[in-house]
Amino acid sequence: MPAMFPFRPQPISAGLLATGPWYRAKEDAAGRVVAESPPQYCPRHPERTAFYQLFETHFDSYVRAYEERFEPQSGPLRPVVVRSVDDFLSCGRLEGGFARIRCTKCHKEHLLAFSCRTRNFCSGCQAKRSVLFAEKLTNEILAPVPHRHWTFSIPRVLRGLFERERSLLSLLSQTAYASILKSFQALLGRKDVRPGCVLSLQTYGAYGANFNPHCHGLVTDGAFSADGEFLPLPSLDASAVMEVFRRLLLLRLHRAERLSESFMNNLLSWVHPGFSVYAGPPVDAAETASMESQARYITRPVLAMEALHRLDNGSLVLETPPDPKTGATSIELDPLEWIHRITSHIPDPGRHCQRFYGAYSNRGRIRVAPAGDENVSVPVAKLPERDNSDYSRETRSTWARLIRKIFEADPLLCPCGGRMRIVSFITDPRVVDRILKHRGSGHCKTPDPFEPRPPPRVSAKILQ
């Protein structure tokens, strides 16, 4: 079984391609990809959104204002925020570099802009990540038994602690799982059983405007014995699981010296504890579409790039359904405040947001895929040996890094059904500029400057 997360770049299935923005492809009866319309290059133009312009125009001011305005509450500016914004600003834009890809059958060429693959920030990249995650879950991870969608949240008074010290977020998901495990074992009256559990750590609520760390989970509605037998839960009481979660989390925070004993006891004495645990109705494994949409929901983007709108007074507004308490139908903040709130959800490097526990953990995973498929999945995208032979040693060494940027589409699949070949990566800003200028000039007779062949001198040089 391949490692599940973070996703390795890999050819995206034809089914996914059909939903992507780049190509319009469909499959014939034999499952081959056939063209529905001529190959189309469909730029997304993120630069036209208020979201993009917010970061393009105000991020430098945000960095300058950070220490005084945001550091006291949120801690020092994290380097990952600066890096992610930088990557995001060139995501999907040819100006940031691109790959030339050519079909071996129809010989069409395209320029494919790199994508940033930032986590919980760029809505385009996160949406693709989410689709792939959902596919992986339903195809390879989830056992053919009913599952429930669980949510674990914590009181407002504890949220700042997790924002300032993000390593504690692991404790949140570990404790959510521990409370499920303990409760399920008690309900089944056995210590030797484990549920299958996928947890997704999120720090954003419905609109990304607040820091609200919580966990979503897809959990088997029962547990597996050591020999793989599934034992359905006889009953379920989410409020009892909440009580376990609350006590365990407070105790663990206290042991980690983040909560004083008196504050812990104070929180334990609250009549309205501020913790909540919710379990949805069981969903049968056969309802793949429902399972996929739940899996997508728990890894959804923070905020759609198109959701923000600029007002004449310079602030930005997000329209929302009426707030149940205040009736407000929008959130209006100044640019720096929006930047702060949106970037607070970018996870620290190396911190996995999706975790697998119990029967779904790497060690104890229940096999659901047919036997003998181990060699089939995760073909980390790379060119055949002969394609590499033309490249310099230096180019080869950066190959893997560059191909990871091609997350937008399967670079080896042409809508005509033929195999695409990556001809070169163009990353030198001078060359990028020259090519894009040529494209934009009246001298370019085709949408792509490299067609018809032979390629212009500039690319010939790169290939030598």
Judged by CB, which is closer to Zn ion: 91, or 267? 91
- Residue from 25, 33, 91, 131 touching Zn ion (CB under 5 A): that is 91
Q: Is 116 among the residues that bind Zn ion (CB under 5 A)?
A: yes
**Residue whose CB is less far from Zn ion, 110 or 340:** 110
Report, in Å, the least distance between residue 432 CB and Zn ion: 18
Residue 104 C-beta: closest distance to Zn ion, Å: 8
Query: Quick one: 108 or 246, whose CB is closer to Zn ion?
Result: 108
In terms of CB distance, is 107 or 437 closer to Zn ion? 107
Give yes or no for residue 115 binding Zn ion (CB under 5 A). yes
If one asks whether residue 111 binds Zn ion (CB under 5 A), the answer comes out as: no
Confirm or reject binding of residue 17 to Zn ion (CB under 5 A): no
The minimum distance between CB 434 and Zn ion, in angstroms, equals 25
C-beta of 221 vs 408, nearer to Zn ion: 408
122 is a site residue for Zn ion (CB under 5 A): yes
Residue 129 or 296: the one with the smaller Cβ distance to Zn ion is 129
Asked if residue 212 binds Zn ion (CB under 5 A), the reply is no
* Min separation Cβ 93 and Zn ion, Å: 10
Select 115 or 173, whichever has its Cβ closest to Zn ion.
115
Judged by CB under 5 A, does residue 85 bind Zn ion?
A: no
Q: Please state the closest distance from residue 418 (CB atom) to Zn ion, in A.
A: 4
Residue 97 contacts Zn ion per CB under 5 A: no
Binding residue for Zn ion, selected from 127, 414, 435, 462, defined by CB under 5 A: 414
> SS in 3 state form for the chain?
CCCCCCCCCCCCCHHHHCCCCCCCEEECCCCCEEECCCCCCCCCCHHHCHHHHHHHHHHHHHHHHHHHHCHHHHCCCCHHHHHHHHHHHCCCCHHHCEEEEEECCCCCEEEEECCCCCCCCCHHHHHHHHHHHHHHHHHHHCCCCCEEEEEEECCHHHHHHHHHCHHHHHHHHHHHHHHHHHHHHHHHCCCCCECEEEEEEEEECCCCCCEEEEEEEEEECEEECCCCCEEECCCCCHHHHHHHHHHHHHHHHHHCCCCCHHHHHHHHCCCCCCCEEEECCCECCCCHHHHHHHHHHCCCCCCCHHHEEECCCCCEEEECCCCCCCCCCEEEECHHHHHHHHHCCCCCCCCCCEEEEECCCCCCCCCCCCCCCCCCCCCCCCCCHHHHCCCCHHHHHHHHHHHHHCCCCCCCECCCCCEEEEEEEECCHHHHHHHHHHHHCCCCCCCCCCCCCCCCHHHHHHHC
Binders of Zn ion among residues 339 to 378 (CB under 5 A) are none
Residue 416, interface with Zn ion (CB under 5 A)? Answer: yes
Residue selected from 418, 436, 450, 462 as contacting Zn ion according to rule CB under 5 A: 418
When asked if residue 103 is in the footprint of Zn ion (CB under 5 A), the reply is: yes
- Which part of the chain contacts Zn ion (CB under 5 A), choosing from 147-155, 295-303, 336-344, 409-417? 409-417
Residues 239-268 that bind Zn ion (CB under 5 A): none
Query: Footprint of Zn ion on this chain (CB under 5 A)?
Result: 91, 103, 105-106, 115-116, 122, 124-125, 414, 416, 418
